[in-house]
Chains A and B, each alone.
Chain A
Amino acid sequence: MCGIVGLFLKDKALEPELGGLLTDMLVTMSDRGPDSAGIAVYRGADDGLAKITVQSANPEKDFKGLASTLGADVARIDSHAIVSCPIDQTSSILEKIRSMSQLRVMSRGDAIEIYKEVGLPKSVAKRFDIPQLQGSHGIGHTRMATESAVTTLGAHPFSTGPDQCLVHNGSLSNHNSLRRRLARQGVEVETENDTEVAAAYLTWKMQNGCNLGEALEAGISDLDGFYTFVVGTKDGFGVLRDPIACKPAVLAETPQYVAFGSEYRALVNLPGIEAARVWEPEPATVYFWEH
């Protein structure tokens, strides 16, 4: 199974509530996947700083002194830390982080932060204080693992490019061949997970000039298997279902937001949902919104 939720705000007045709304939506989806949970939140896109979300299995030890080692601000939240730096220093700091084998990069970009761990959505949201997070859009996932181990790194969302993330309900059948194809293009992934390959594929497409919509469109022919994807970029939000469309999906739109849920019950507490346009996204059809 797996449960997906997503919220793309059109009305800035709702931004302080983003974390709270997303948490409520994701907790409702808990029984679709008890293995691990994660959330990507987009905020502070225009503050002139880049952010790198890092994770460690021994945060007490590994995050101690990290700020001075990197020469950047480090805000620790449980097993994750947000490293902030001027945008022009991102590459050099990322290089330093990658040289530290105890740290894992969850995401990087101007706006994205990713928090994910093994456990139920309720406990993951509490550990990272997700309800307090403000932001312009966010995506959440609760996982029932099929294609790779239940670990922090196997949890969704997956981020393979700046400010990009992807969550997935389903399973891909051509991820091994696609992983090799991408490797020949110089695109590396970190895990054995099928979803990470899809994320890397979209990143590669976008590096080569596609916008999010065009990258998703290309995915319809290159990705084989079952999928409902929800994808985030710095200022965009996309949804794609495979042509068979077994994996459930519900979209809702009001003048204030676009919301996604694996099931309608994820959406029932959203403000104004009674008056929203609610529909099931069509198979093999790309939906995307941009700010």
Chain B
Amino acid sequence: METLDLAAMELRAVNSALQAESDGSNQSYEVVNPRGSHAIAVGLNAPIEVTVQGSTGYYCAGMNQLATINVIGSAGPGVAENMMSGKVVIDGDASQYAGATAHGGLLVIKGNASSRCGISMKGVDIVVHGNIGHMSAFMAQAGNLVVLGDAGDALGDSLYEAHLFVRGEVKSLGADCVEKEMRPEHVETLTRLLKDADANAKPEEFRRYGSARNLYNFDIDNLGDY
């Protein structure tokens, strides 16, 4: 395990060292003294393991590919934004728009996530052990958002084809988001995600929400309006 100290190194040097790892690497790193800095461990492109010892600022683990990144603290806005693959685990809370636009991989938040969690998600799996804030999964296109706690206002507003699973209360559903039947394939997905996220919950405790598909489908009856 190699230690990178943000009290002694510039952020750019830390990120360059992490980004220099090639495809076959399984090196592990520890980043110490993050002190809420922005853009820690972004743009990684190898299956390395990075542990950040403390809380991070904006955009930690953004654009991640293949790497496993653990934050032993809380994360600021935009954690794992546009992640492509790999795994990001936040021990504490995550600020707004966690996992925004992410295409793949797994984002686990062991505390709460605030507003706009999974906004415009495009294939990522997100598991939040606590609650999520308002406007989460807004315009979410693909992937799964699993919430063990409660969801805030306007969950899944203008949703496309992402699957949302919530165990607790949903304060309100957004436009075109509806509760849907939990079929065996959903239970199977949920079982796998809960296991991968070390989440102690049973799939049958969850409700599934998805798109009513009224907003984004062209309706032939409206032809005259165009």
Binding site for B on A (CB under 8 A): 244-246, 248, 263-268, 278-280, 282-283
Given contacts A248-B77, A280-B114, A283-B115, contact A263 B36 (CB under 8 A): yes
Query: Which residues of B have CB within 8 Å of A248?
Result: 76-77, 95-96
Given contacts A265-B36, A265-B37, A283-B134, contact A278 B74 (CB under 8 A): yes
Interchain residue pairs with CB less than 8 A apart (15): A245-B114, A245-B133, A246-B96, A263-B57, A264-B36, A264-B76, A265-B57, A267-B36, A268-B35, A268-B36, A280-B95, A280-B114, A282-B133, A283-B115, A283-B134
CA distance A278 to B91 in the complex (A): 14
How far in angstroms is the closest Cβ of chain B from A197? 26
The answer to whether A245 touches B35, judged by C-beta atoms less than 8 angstroms apart, is no
The answer to whether A245 touches B36, judged by C-beta atoms less than 8 angstroms apart, is no
Provide the B108-135 mask, 1 if CB < 8 A to any CB of A, else 0. Answer: 0000001100000000000000000110
CA distance A244 to B114 in the complex (A): 11
How far in angstroms is the closest Cβ of chain B from A210? 26
Interface presence of B49 (CB below 8 A): no
The answer to whether B115 touches A245, judged by C-beta atoms less than 8 angstroms apart, is yes
Query: Which residues of B have CB within 8 Å of A282?
Result: 133
Given contacts A245-B115, A280-B95, 19 further A-B contacts (CB under 8 A): A244-B115, A245-B114, A245-B134, A246-B96, A248-B77, A248-B95, A263-B76, A264-B36, A264-B55, A264-B74, A264-B76, A265-B37, A265-B57, A268-B36, A278-B74, A279-B93, A280-B93, A280-B114, A283-B134
Which residue of chain B has its CB nearest to the CB of A269? B35
Provide the B73-104 mask, 1 if CB < 8 A to any CB of A, else 0. Answer: 01011000000000000000101100000000
Which residue of chain B has its CB nearest to the CB of A31? B38
CA distance A274 to B58 in the complex (A): 19
Query: Which residues of B have CB within 8 Å of A279?
Result: 93
Query: Which residues of A have CB within 8 Å of B134?
Result: 245, 283
The answer to whether B115 touches A264, judged by C-beta atoms less than 8 angstroms apart, is no
Query: Which residues of A have CB within 8 Å of B58?
Result: 263
Query: Which residues of A have CB within 8 Å of B76?
Result: 248, 263-264
CA distance A268 to B57 in the complex (A): 11
How far in angstroms is the closest Cβ of chain B from A258? 18
Query: Which residues of B have CB within 8 Å of A267?
Result: 36
CA distance A245 to B134 in the complex (A): 9
Query: Which residues of B have CB within 8 Å of A278?
Result: 55, 74
Query: Which residues of B have CB within 8 Å of A246?
Result: 96
How far in angstroms is the closest Cβ of chain A from B149? 14
CA distance A77 to B115 in the complex (A): 43
Q: Can you list the 8 inter-chain pairs with the closest CB atoms, starting with the nearest?
A: A265-B36, A264-B36, A268-B35, A280-B114, A264-B55, A265-B57, A268-B36, A263-B57
